[in-house]
Amino acid sequence: MVRKKKKNHIRSGLGDMTFNTINVLIMIVLMLVTLYPFLYVLFSSFSDAGLLSQHRGILWKPLGFSLEAYKAVFDNPMVLIGYANTIFYVVVGTVINLALTILGAYALSRRQLMWKKPIMLGIVFTMFFSGGLVPRYLLVHDLGLLDTRWSLILPTAISVFNLIVMRTSFQAIPVSLEESARIDGANDFTILFRIVLPLSLPVIAVMTLFYGVSHWNSYFDAMIFLRDRDLFPLQLVLRTILITNDTSSMTVGSLGGDTYRISETIKYAVIIVATVPILFLYPFLQKYFVKGVMIGSLKE
Amino acid sequence: MASIQLGTRKEKATRLIRKATFRERVVKDFKRNKYVYAMLLPVVAYFLIFHYGPMYGVQIAFKNYDVTKGFLGSPWVGFEHFVEFFKSYYFWRLIRNTLLLSLYSLIFVFPAPIIFALLLNEIRNMKFKRLTQTITYLPHFISLVVVVGILVDFLSPQGLINQILSVFGVDVTNYLQEAGWFRTIFISSEVWQTVGWGSIIYLAAITNVNPQLYEAAKIDGAGRFRQIIHVTIPGILPTITILFILQLGSLMTVGYQKIILLYNPLTYETADVISTYIYRKGILDASYSYSAAIGLFDAVINFGILVLANRISKKVGETSLW
């Protein structure tokens, strides 16, 4: 009897070990598959264009070392204009996003507000039903926003998901704090700025990153609303270079005949240049984004 | 007679009181919350203009929209555009492509983060676990343009994939120009983008599973694998259900922003979905009314499926969105 039990224990221990080993192996493969494409792009961007074009297969380090591609990228007016525009959209867009989301979240987190339920219902409904792409486009057209910077900022001024996340977080602030302020004669603006906001810095950080990243990464609205190349965000310039393969935009004012030779490495360098800000923020992003998803997943 | 009169007068009186109390409540509420309503004003205005505005504008689906005449001035045509779409040569191709991509997403993309979360939860070394999370969350933050840009580069005839496969004697293929490869590329890159990030919500749900259940299962002699099947999965089933319902609610709109970057006329046969068709017809060809009709058809079906799925789930498993 005792022997049998021992045997059983060893067997389950062995089973455990195989399970663990296979599990760890799966994780390692997954990490490699996720990370390697970025490493390949990074190595290629620093490689010598001639050597790279002759190379076949996987890269484990840059082939030779060359900054030619980066030089071409930073000499390119379209990339620079795109970069400047994107910074504008991220900064101005996020400030407006935050202001409206904070106001909405504060108002809808009040306990005694008669019209709260219908307003909330009206807002949540837009998550599940929309007028569609074309009516949205015509609306932006009719408002005279087409081909202006506002077309990338106003139509996406509030994200319902973010509004709900922030509201949930505001609701968690103890009522007693607010009540004592009210006795001292504080109105709602005072309570928002003096009590709620100082206690909500983490969720504001989450929202700043949520909105900021989505402005940085979006291309679709710019593609349908903008014609003027001087207003293009970086992602749209990237699309021209990487996907529609329009090298003319690359050759304008850059290295001329040389550009063709290094056109491959330029692509890789552009990807790196466009992604580096995100990678720099990544440690914060990861921490706060996870927090945001957690708050968002709470059911009321 | 007298009693009836008395009754109506009484009713009138109570109605008056009720009316007064309602108005009083509104006034009182407004007085108390005047600053709150001031804050709500720009928010409500935003939703009315930019979300309900397009819903109002969707009436052009039943009209022949003319830019010079505007929304109201354009003549009504009833369901003409819907009928035209149902009869169009592309209708079945669009429905087939949309539903197949959605179905493959449900089969491959949806369960991937669940399986990943279950496996990750079994990793005991915290440092290794955190490293895995850090790396697999990364694709979520990379823009679609960059993801597709990398795909286009890797899958080109001279690209990395062809270079590697040629070592094994596989012929060079231009993957992005072949309709037969589109779905595989779309779905597998989708898994790559979402497997890590999507797991967060399930990992959170797993930590909420009652630890006593694991103890009980252990006493009953259940191994690690059986514990996953009998304790962890039932524990996170409500979360899975909610996300599944939400996923069903976008059954008719697959990730068109990615498809628009990834497809080309050579792959329309498998890649063109309802939303990309709306984009081409509506924005590029300016057939506003026709494409608004297709968009409305799409939105109504999506919403219908969402409501239906929610109702079924409420009945069967007592989990629901609302």
Residue-wise DSSP of A219-246: -HHHHHH---GGG--HHHHHHHHHTS--
Query: Chain A partners of B167 at a C-beta cutoff of 8 Å?
Result: 56-57
Q: Please give, rounded to a whole number of angstroms, the shortest distance from the CA of A256 to a CA of chain B.
A: 22
Q: Does B235 touch chain A (CB under 8 A)?
A: no
Is B322 a member of any domain?
A: no
Question: What is the Cβ-side half-sphere exposure of residue B119, based on CA atoms within 13 angstroms?
Answer: 22
Q: Are residues B86 and B220 in the same domain?
A: yes
Of B142, B195, B288, Cβ closest to residue A138: B288
Q: Are residues B242 and B170 in the same domain?
A: yes
Q: Are residues B219 and B268 in the same domain?
A: yes
Whether residue A5 has pLDDT greater than 50 = no
Tokens of A166: 């922030």
Is B238 a member of any domain?
A: yes
Q: Are residues B45 and B99 in the same domain?
A: no
Kindly report the backbone phi and psi dihedral angles of residue B281, in degrees, each rounded to the nearest multiple of 5, phi listed first.
Answer: -70, -45
Chain-chain contact of A133 with B279 (C-beta, under 8 angstroms):
yes
- pLDDT at residue A80, as a whole number: 94
Residues B90 and B274: their CA atoms lie apart, in Å, by: 10
Q: Are residues B142 and B92 in the same domain?
A: yes
Q: Are A293 and A167 in contact (CB under 8 A)?
A: no
Comparing C-alpha atoms, which of A97, A125, A104 is closest to residue A206? A97
pLDDT band at B317 (very low <50, low <70, confident <90, very high): confident
> What confidence tens digit (pLDDT) does each residue in A269-284 have?
999 999 998 888 888 7
Q: What's the complex ipTM?
A: 0.88
Q: Residue A65 contacts by C-beta under 8 Å, 6 or more apart in sequence?
A: A46, A47, A48
Comparing C-alpha atoms, which of A211, A218, A161 is closest to residue B142? A218
Mean pLDDT of B83-88: 96
Of A51-55, A113-117, B18-22, B306-310, give the lowest mean pLDDT range: B18-22
Q: Are residues B196 and B244 in the same domain?
A: yes
Chain-chain contact of B36 with A188 (C-beta, under 8 angstroms):
yes
Whether residue A129 has pLDDT greater than 80 = yes
**Nearest-Cα residue of chain B relative to residue A21:** B123
Comparing C-alpha atoms, which of B43, B260, B289, B275 is closest to residue A138? B289
Query: For residues B164-203, b (16+ Cβ closer than 10 Å) or e, as one string?
Result: eeeeeeeeeeebbeeeebbbebbbebbbbbbbbbbbbbbb
Q: Are residues B154 and B253 in the same domain?
A: yes
Is B132 a member of any domain?
A: yes
Residues B83 and B60: their CA atoms lie apart, in Å, by: 15
Mean pLDDT of B131-160: 94
Q: Are residues B235 and B307 in the same domain?
A: yes
Query: Chain B partners of A243 at a C-beta cutoff of 8 Å?
Result: 145, 148-149, 152, 261
Question: What is the Cβ-side half-sphere exposure of residue A81, based on CA atoms within 13 angstroms?
Answer: 13
pTM for the full predicted model: 0.89
Q: Are residues B61 and B125 in the same domain?
A: no
> Which domains does chain A carry?
84-234+274-297 (1.10.3720.10)
Residues 69-108 in B contacting A (C-alpha not used; CB under 8 Å): 70
Q: Are residues B209 and B121 in the same domain?
A: yes
Residues 158-177 in A contacting B (C-alpha not used; CB under 8 Å): 158
Is B71 a member of any domain?
A: no
Is B135 a member of any domain?
A: yes
pLDDT band at B3 (very low <50, low <70, confident <90, very high): very low
Chain-chain contact of B200 with A290 (C-beta, under 8 angstroms):
yes
Tokens of A94: 């996020």
Q: Does B24 touch chain A (CB under 8 A)?
A: no
Mean pLDDT of B64-83: 90
CATH number of the domain that B238 lies in?
1.10.3720.10
Q: Does A10 touch chain B (CB under 8 A)?
A: no
Is B249 a member of any domain?
A: yes
Q: Are residues B37 and B102 in the same domain?
A: no
DSSP B179-244: HHHHHHHHHHHHHHHHHHHHHHHHHHHHHTS-HHHHHHHHHTT--HHHHIIIIIHHHHHHHHHHHH
Residue B27's domain comprises 2-65
DSSP B277-292: HHIIIIIIS--HHHHH
Q: Are residues B22 and B57 in the same domain?
A: yes
Q: Please give, rounded to a whole number of angstroms, the shortest distance from the CA of A248 to a CA of chain B.
A: 17
Q: For tokens 């057209």, what's the residue?
A: A141
pLDDT above 90 as % of chain B: 71
